[in-house]
Amino acid sequence: MKKVFFSLFFLLTALFLISCNYSKKIKIGGRALGTYYRITYIGEEKAAIQCGVDSLLDQINAQFSIFDPTTLVSRLNHGENPELSEQFQWLFEKSMEVSAHTNGAFDITIEPLVEAWGFGKDRKISLDSLVIDSLKQLVGYQRVHIEGKYLVKENPAIKLNFNAIAKGYAVDQIAEYLFQMGYPNCLIDVGGEVVARGSNRGKPWRVGVQVPTHHADDPIETNYVFTMQDKAIATSGNYRNYIEQDGKRFTHIVSPFTGGAEVSSLLSVSVIAPDCTTADAYATAFMVLGIEKSMEIIKHDTTLAGYFIYDDNGVYKTVKSDRFPDSIQR
């Protein structure tokens, strides 16, 4: 009887230890794509996960970074015509889809204007209206397409920029990698673009919307926290990445319609979508479109939800769509 008792005791202890091991909360992080990444996954810790994530991010950077002259997008922008990878083709077609849905508010051919406003590799501003008007002739998502495995441009001077969608894509790729490695429960944050998959040891993941700051290096704070499960959120704002010249502040969000980069009263847009690639692209598009037009798109697309923060004469105010979750913070 005593032997049976001890055997049962050791069995239960072993099962308890195994259960604890597979419910551990593991956190890793680093730098990639010009920003930070933070990952939390539930289960047994594996050193290979960090190496796998870093390798995946390096691969994405090697295709979509405009700051490295050796990347696929840089080679295309400099006049070469290399064979396109499957990843590149997929993200290109996804970009075209969002462009069509937003009537061009999201547009990966925006790069010439991005460079002119000082947000390209050289960080030089050109405020000449004639220059801006001429560069607008190179912008338009209908002016590029893929034939076979190659990019076709209407004008050789057209340049691409995936910065408004690549981070979201990276988050989705990490989530898929973790799932393939046997970790379906995870929270991935790459520069503020977030995917919540599965659960946090049986509970939904908690995420928050950042409060717009007055300066780029101000501390990050949140005052709107909610739960999210098997969805993604991305935020686009005009308060972190900007250039100041002659007492004026110019945001990195450039309008494909006007060619302008001036700050509006709309400070940030957070979009929830089934995947982070989609959320990232729409967040940028909605910053360009403004609240009213964005809410009209959300109204007719039940996969999207939006949260808008705007400045009303020095007072921050918010508007959210019906499907955006309520805050649980008191």
**Taking the domains of the chain in order of start, what are their residue ranges?**
25-59+164-320, 74-153
pLDDT over 60 (residue 3): no
Q: CB atoms < 10 A from the CB of 73, how many? A: 24
Rounded average pLDDT over 307-319: 92
Between CA 271 and CA 282 the distance in angstroms is 7
Q: Which of 33-37, 144-148, 278-282 has the lowest mean pLDDT?
A: 33-37
Summarised one tens digit per residue, pLDDT across range 75-131 is: 999 999 999 999 999 999 999 999 999 999 999 999 999 988 877 655 556 566 788
Between CA 136 and CA 203 the distance in angstroms is 48
Rounded average pLDDT over 223-250: 77
pLDDT over 50 (residue 316): yes
Summarised one tens digit per residue, pLDDT across range 257-276 is: 988 876 678 989 999 999 99
DSSP string, 114-165: HHHBT-SSS--B---HHHHHHHHTT--GGGEEEETTEEEESSTT-----TTT
pLDDT band at residue 238 under the 50/70/90 scheme: confident
pLDDT score of 212:
78
DSSP string, 36-65: EEEEEEESS--HHHHHHHHHHHHHHHHHH-
Q: What is the CATH number of domain 25-59+164-320?
A: 3.10.520.10
Rounded average pLDDT over 164-182: 98
Fold of 74-153: T-fold (1.10.3980)
pLDDT over 60 (residue 245): no
pLDDT band at residue 6 under the 50/70/90 scheme: very low
Among 165, 166, 209, smallest CA distance to 324 is for 209
Rounded average pLDDT over 178-188: 98
DSSP 325: P
pLDDT score of 214:
62
DSSP string, 171-205: HHHHHHHHHHTT---EEEEETTEEEEES-BTTB-E
Q: Decide: residue 72, CB within 10 A, 0-12 exposed, 13-18 middle, 19+ buried.
A: buried
Encoded amino acid at 140, one letter: G
pLDDT band at residue 55 under the 50/70/90 scheme: very high
pLDDT score of 210:
86
pLDDT score of 8:
44
Which of 116-130, 174-188, 202-216, 236-250 has the highest average model confidence (pLDDT)?
174-188
pLDDT score of 222:
79
pLDDT score of 102:
98
Q: CB atoms < 10 A from the CB of 219, how many? A: 6
Per-chain mean pLDDT for the chain: 88
Summarised one tens digit per residue, pLDDT across range 126-162 is: 566 788 889 999 999 999 999 999 999 999 999 999 9
pLDDT over 70 (residue 307): yes
pLDDT score of 213:
60
